[in-house]
Structure 1
Amino acid sequence: MIKIENLTKSYPSKIGPQYIFKNLNFSFPTDKNVAILGRNGAGKSTLFRLLAKSEYPDRGRVLTNRSMSWPVALQTGIHPQMTGRENARFIGRINNVRSLASYENSVQEFAELNKKFDLPVKTYSSGMRAKLVFACCMNIDFDVYLIDEATSVGDPLFRRKAKETLREKAKNAGVIMVSHELDQIREYCSSAVLIDKGKLTYFEDLEEGIAIYTGDKNSGKGKK
């Protein structure tokens, strides 16, 4: 379970603090793959960063005993001055990977970077950088994967490999996904959390959540 306790998050602006969440209390199930749904600006990316602890609340906290990946599409933890190999080694160390040499080789092979794996990441194209981050993440066994449009990177062959890998990971681990592509959400998720006006509502049935999100008034209500 991932538990959010009395969480408040705001951003400063010229007209005062803009609150995304105020005194939010919520529990994310980790036994089901969950889609995060919400309009633009509802707070999906902010929630993602809070769950990953790559951003911190003004007040309150996020509690879990599960290991969680970083939000893959945000490319968190990649240093442009370091090579792909150095980045992989650093990420492996902070995630307690047992064999760094084996991990580096797996990342290099999965990311399809070949000799460029030993060049600084600042020389990479955006697609190459995205491949590196995805490869670093998928080669670590997390309890929960935070996925934000990550399977849309690279060429068609790499996208297919990324989807197949995530599908395999999802058999034994939780997935929390943000995507504007409903087909992608349906492929990986079985339930949904809808963000609306700073409140989170859980739908055990994914299609019910999607129907509410897309404006189908014939659907029932979720559990808060």
Structure 2
Amino acid sequence: MIIFNDVSKTYATRSGRHKVLDNVNFTIEKGQSVGICGHNGAGKSTLLRLMAGAEQPSSGAIRRSMSVSWPLGLASSFQSSLSGADNTRFIARVYGKAVDETLDFVEDFAELGEYLRMPLRTYSAGMAARLAFAVSLAVSFDCYLIDEITAVGDERFQDRCRAALQQRKEACSLIMVSHDPHTLRDYCDSGMAVQNGRVLRFDTIEEAIASHFVHA
């Protein structure tokens, strides 16, 4: 379960404090698949980072009673001077996973070839995203956070991503941000819409999509 209790998030800007989320309240139960709608800059990615614990709220409280992934595909926390393999080994040790088993999974899924043993600074953005997606799936979580990641790589890699996420959906929670209504319908049952700092919760993904496009 993830519980947001009167959560607000503000950032400092040149013109003063900008409030992205304003007294947000909701609960996500284990096993739910939730799609998040909203225009660019509405606060969708901020919401995911708060769920993951990558950022802390400016006020209010967030409680988690299930393990939550980092946003899938997030590569910014990797060490660029290390190879993809070394980054994978480090994350496996942090999460108590078998190192060789984790590396084998990432090598097979990311399909980076010799680049897996090369420094991350030599990767293209797409290669780094493929590595990050594979590492994310190699660690077991109760809840996976996905931020517009299903478009990474070529069509074959996207098909593998979709199959892997559908498999996770059978046993875990998925919380997905996407601008594509078809993608949200494929993975999500219920939904949220982020509008003017508020988060509206809907019982169905169709209601969330409709609310977003009415206010877009």
Alignment TM-score, normalising by the size of structure 2: 0.94
Question: Hey, which of these two has a bigger chunk of strand by percent?
Answer: 2
Who is 2:70 aligned against? 70
Q: Aligned-pair RMSD on alpha carbons?
A: 1.4
Match in the other structure for 1:52: 52
Structure-to-structure mapping, 1:191-210, within 5 angstroms: 191-210=190-209
Contact 1:3–1:62 (Cα < 8 Å) also in 2: yes
Partner secondary structure for residue 70 of structure 2: coil
4+ aligned runs moved over 6 Å, structure 1: none
CA distance in 2, matches of 1:2, 1:69: 12
- The alignment-based identity, stated in percent, is 37
Of structures 1 and 2, the one with the larger relative CO (CA 8 A, separation 6+) is 2
Equivalent pairs counted in the alignment come to 215
Using the TM superposition, name which of 48-57 and 67-76 deviates more: 67-76
How does the TM-score come out when normalised to structure 1?
0.91
2:85–2:116 Cα contact (<8 Å) kept: yes
Deviation at 1:77, TM superposition (A): 2.5
The answer to whether the 8 A contact 1:70-1:76 is kept is no
Aligned residue in 2 for 1:29: 29
Task: Give the superposition deviation at 1:133.
Answer: 0.4
**Corresponding residue for 1:132?**
131
8 A contact 2:73–2:131 mirrored in 1: no
Aligned partners of 1:3 and 1:197: how far apart in 2? 20
Name the structure 2 match of 1:186.
Answer: 185
- Cα distance in structure 1, aligned partners of 2:145 and 2:184: 13
The aligned counterpart of 1:168 is: 167
Distance 1:132 1:160 in 2: 16
Q: Which residue of 2 aligns with 1:118?
A: 117
Alignment deviations for residues 64-119 of structure 1 (CA, whole Å, 9 cap, x no partner): 1111111123324211111011110111122221x111111111111111222111
Instruction: Could you tell me which runs of 5 or more consecutive residues in structure 1 were left unpaired when the two chains were aligned.
Output: 217-224
Quick one: which amino acid aligns to residue 122 of structure 1? R
CA contact (8 A) 2:38 2:179 kept: no
- How far the C-alpha of 1:169 sits from its partner, in A, is 0.9
